[in-house]
Amino acid sequence: MQYRVDPRTGRRLSVLGLGCMRFPGSVPGRPDQRRAEAIIARAVERGVNYLDTAYLYPGNEAVVGAALEHLGLRDQVFLATKLPHASCKDEADLDRIFNEQLHRLRTDRIDYYLIHNITSPAQWTRLVGLGIEAWIARQKAAGRIGAIGFSYHGSTGDFSLVLDAYDWDFCQIQYNYANERYQAGTAGLVAAAGRGLAVFVMEPLLGGRLAGKLPASARRIFDQAADRMVGEGPGAVELTTPAAWGLSWVWDHPEVTMVLSGMTDPEMVDENARIATAALPGALSAAQHEAVARVLQVFERSNRVPCTGCNYCMPCPRGINIPGCFAAYNASFAHSWFTGVSQYFTASAVRTGSPKLASNCVRCGACLSNCPQHIEIPDRLLDVQRRLTPGPIGAALKLIARRKG
């Protein structure tokens, strides 16, 4: 494992952090405790020393807290969680939510605390009006918060305004080879690092879109690359998967302090940790960067809806599996129309007694404010309907839905 230094605190952080949002579970919103513990244990064994969770990840903080207590690992990791700022109506809510998080996580401190999902400077300004600056100062003085930062999903232009609005310790941005000009982007990465902040990267593989879901033609570019080794000497490793290429591309940037990966089993931890051993800035060759650029060209032709499967839009009041619909829609371009239709039939539960079709959308807008990618969800669900259930297919599915509903 490689480590990089947090410029504000001097802490040595593993270049690979464990994002806990996508812990597996048989029921959405209920992570499996045993499987989560196996992932955490393997991650720490492989040198990972940073865990990221959030108040709004259903059941997640409680699972992480129980796992760290059971495994006896709390003092071996830096723990991060996030404040749901939209839920804060007055200063008392700051204490109420934070104390609940400490209870869930079974700890007396949060090493890295983030304002969750900032999309505009106005959101921070509202929190300032609630007294959050004095509240942060008190928590830091009491040793209950180690470092304060924010996760960002707003526009490129607003990012610098948020950076300058407070004396932050760190920030967390979405960054990958498909998002250099999206949200904070490369310009934001450089700006944050230039201000002396630690920069943590989320969605380095775009919710798996740059890994296992990459189009076959794009994967072949990686597979056929003449130069597939990264690093030097005995520490060199081979880039054998699209995920390895994607992670290495992010780590190639010296401004990146750490990359968060939502690893869903111990084997994925092993693979990502293997790549992390060679995660030095500037490790990718010019030929490897050219291969990534060619893959990006292929990917952009199939990435019609920039959904990362984060599930922030769920649950839909009409029961629509919104991320599943968008995954099927993208698959219909990346692989084949029949592949997309097959995935859509699964996502919409056509074969059950209560199918939930994209056409069930009533444009209530409940999903719109929650999407960190700012997708016009009702409009795009209409695109799903038009592409995957054209003409008589759509009519037949609606008939099935009425009969079984």
Confidence of residue 111 (pLDDT cuts 50, 70, 90): very high
Computed over every residue of the chain, the mean pLDDT equals 91
pLDDT of 227-277, one tens digit each? 999 888 888 899 999 999 999 999 999 999 999 999 999 999 999 999 999
Do the beta carbons of residue 200 and residue 171 sit within 8 Å? yes
pLDDT of 52-102, one tens digit each? 999 999 999 999 999 999 999 999 999 999 999 999 999 999 999 999 999
317 falls within a domain: no
Q: Are residues 134 and 81 in the same domain?
A: yes
User: What value does the mean pLDDT take over residues 378-382?
Assistant: 90
Q: What is the pLDDT of residue 171?
A: 98
272 falls within a domain: yes
Q: Are residues 216 and 355 in the same domain?
A: no
* Single residue among 246, 264, 298 that ends a domain in this structure: 298
Q: What is the pLDDT of residue 353?
A: 60
What pTM, to 2 d.p., does this model score? Answer: 0.85
127 falls within a domain: yes
Q: What is the pLDDT of residue 82?
A: 98
44 falls within a domain: yes
Q: Are residues 66 and 214 in the same domain?
A: yes
% of residues, the chain, pLDDT over 90: 66
Does residue 109 surpass a pLDDT of 90?
A: yes
Q: What is the pLDDT of residue 397?
A: 59
Do the beta carbons of residue 248 and residue 295 sit within 8 Å? no
Q: What is the pLDDT of residue 252?
A: 96
Q: What is the pLDDT of residue 312?
A: 86
Q: Are residues 122 and 204 in the same domain?
A: yes
* Single residue among 298, 330, 359 that ends a domain in this structure: 298
303 falls within a domain: no
Q: What is the pLDDT of residue 405?
A: 47
330 falls within a domain: yes
Q: Are residues 202 and 252 in the same domain?
A: yes
Residue 350's CB is within 10 A of a number of other CB atoms, namely: 17
| The two structure tokens encoding residue 264 | 């869903």
Spatial separation of the C-alpha atoms in residues 20 and 33, rounded to whole Å: 12
Q: Are residues 141 and 13 in the same domain?
A: yes
Strands of 193-295, DSSP E: 198-202, 229-230, 237-238, 258-261
Confidence of residue 404 (pLDDT cuts 50, 70, 90): very low
Q: Are residues 265 and 155 in the same domain?
A: yes
Q: Are residues 26 and 109 in the same domain?
A: yes
Q: Are residues 134 and 278 in the same domain?
A: yes
Q: Are residues 55 and 184 in the same domain?
A: yes
Q: Give the count of domains, the chain.
A: 2
Does residue 328 surpass a pLDDT of 90?
A: no
* Single residue among 264, 298, 332 that ends a domain in this structure: 298
Q: Cα angle vertex 65, ends 64, 68, to 5°?
A: 85
Q: Are residues 264 and 378 in the same domain?
A: no
Q: Are residues 354 and 233 in the same domain?
A: no
pLDDT of 126-140, one tens digit each? 999 999 999 999 999
Closest CA to 172 of 254, 248, 115: 115
pLDDT of 123-175, one tens digit each? 999 999 999 999 999 999 999 999 999 999 998 889 999 999 999 999 999 99
User: What value does the mean pLDDT take over residues 323-344?
Assistant: 81
356 falls within a domain: yes
Spatial separation of the C-alpha atoms in residues 388 and 281, rounded to whole Å: 43
User: What value does the mean pLDDT take over residues 177-203?
Assistant: 95
To which H or E segment does residue 5 belong? strand 3-5
What CATH number is given to the structural domain containing 293? 3.20.20.100
Does residue 183 surpass a pLDDT of 60?
A: yes
CB burial string 210-247: b at 16+ within 10 A, e below? bbebbbeebbebbeebeebebbeeeeebebebbbbbbb
Q: Which domain, by its residues, includes 351?
A: 322-404
347 falls within a domain: yes
